[in-house]
Amino acid sequence: MKTHVWVQVVIRIDEHYQDLLIGLLVLTGFTGFVQEEKFLQCTMPKQKWNTAFKIKFEALITKFKKEFPSLDLSYSHKLIHEENWNKKWESQTGIVEATPHIIIKPSWKKLPIRHAKKLVLHIDPKMSFGTGHHETTRLSLSLIERFLEQHMKILDFGTGTGVLGIACIKLGAQSVFAVDNDPWAIENTKENVKRNAVQKRMIVRLGSISCIPRRNFDLIIANIDFRTIIRFITTLASRTRKEGIIILSGILTNDMPVLLKLFAKNALIPIELVNENEWTSVALRRM
Ligand code: SAH
């Protein structure tokens, strides 16, 4: 078994500000988050915790403090080993009722009898994003339930744990092409794909926008951040068939006006918006 070493940063921050900070930290390279009332634990592979990263991280924290001067925010960091990490996840990650019909279940939890008739996604998160604890994953799943059709060929851009792609296959999609530029996410997605026995219909690739095949997808899902959406929306639109659908998540509601202009430029018409707390997800039809 490979042993990975991680850096865990514990940030003392009130729970009301945690999602906002997670939205920014996902961009920097942290891959795992655990939220508690007064603390946010963020984790990343040790080799990513270099001088350049630390400068970026400190600048981000300083900016956040400036924006919210009354906030009591401090942090410390330590190294952890994979075994400890997994044990910690096991004690903290529970079953998530992601939508009224979809349950996300880690392998160390038993399925309560009341969920027996629901669609169960078997997801062990390890270091990747996509446990269903975050609003953006749940909002994506609710839009997938609404727009998924059986014949669809799907692209899951920024797959994380593989949760959204796996949900699509289990809801009956024909195929999923899942991409992530984080090697840990890809390793984790591959494990989850096997766990859910969907490997015949789900292809998993390490990479970014350039590894997406040119074929036209019926549905593209991307639960990524604002800046990545801005960067890649034109390419994602070009990979969607005419009348096809793009589901975008990871958007802070305040950022929507900027994006709506960009969607219009790319012939993408919003057909449904859903939100929870400060997060919005949108389904767009490509004209
Ligand atoms: N789809 C999952 C995970 C979302 S987190 C869910 O909905 O819960 C966003 C994921 O996008 C992360 O795993 C991150 O590694 C990946 N990502 C961010 N920028 C990317 C890029 N440019 N190319 C590919 N993947 C990217």
The token pair at 275 is 């939100």
Q: Is 250 a residue whose pLDDT tops 70?
A: yes
Q: Is 151 a residue whose pLDDT tops 70?
A: yes
Query: At 85, is the pLDDT very low, low, confident or very high (cuts 50, 70, 90)?
Result: low
- Residue of minimum CA distance from atom 10 in ligand 1: 158
- Residue of minimum CA distance from atom 11 in ligand 1: 158
Q: Is 100 a residue whose pLDDT tops 80?
A: yes
Phi/psi for 116 (5° steps) reads -55, -30
Selected residue with higher pLDDT from 169 and 77: 169
What is the per-residue pLDDT for 206? 95
Please state the rounded mean pLDDT for residues 212-230: 94
Quote the ligand 1 centre to 98 CA distance (angstroms).
19
What is the per-residue pLDDT for 33? 83
Selected residue with higher pLDDT from 147 and 21: 147
Mutate to test the pocket of ligand 1, among 102, 129, 187 (most ligand atoms within 8 A of CB): 129
Quote the ligand 1 centre to 223 CA distance (angstroms).
7
Range 180-186 contact pairs with CB under 8 angstroms and sequence separation of 24 or more: 180/128, 180/206, 181/206, 181/207, 181/208, 182/31, 182/128, 184/4, 184/31, 184/45, 184/126, 184/127, 184/128, 185/31, 185/127, 185/128, 185/129, 185/159, 185/160, 185/161, 186/159
Selected residue with higher pLDDT from 86 and 112: 112
What is the per-residue pLDDT for 16? 87
Please state the rounded mean pLDDT for residues 241-247: 97
What is the per-residue pLDDT for 28? 78
Please state the rounded mean pLDDT for residues 224-239: 95
Pocket of ligand 1 from Cβ distances under 6 Å:
128-130, 137, 140, 158-160, 163-164, 179-182, 185, 208, 223-224, 228
Please state the rounded mean pLDDT for residues 64-92: 77
What is the per-residue pLDDT for 1? 42
Quote the ligand 1 centre to 157 CA distance (angstroms).
7
What is the per-residue pLDDT for 255? 94
Quote the ligand 1 centre to 70 CA distance (angstroms).
32
pTM of the entire predicted model: 0.75
Query: At 284, is the pLDDT very low, low, confident or very high (cuts 50, 70, 90)?
Result: very high
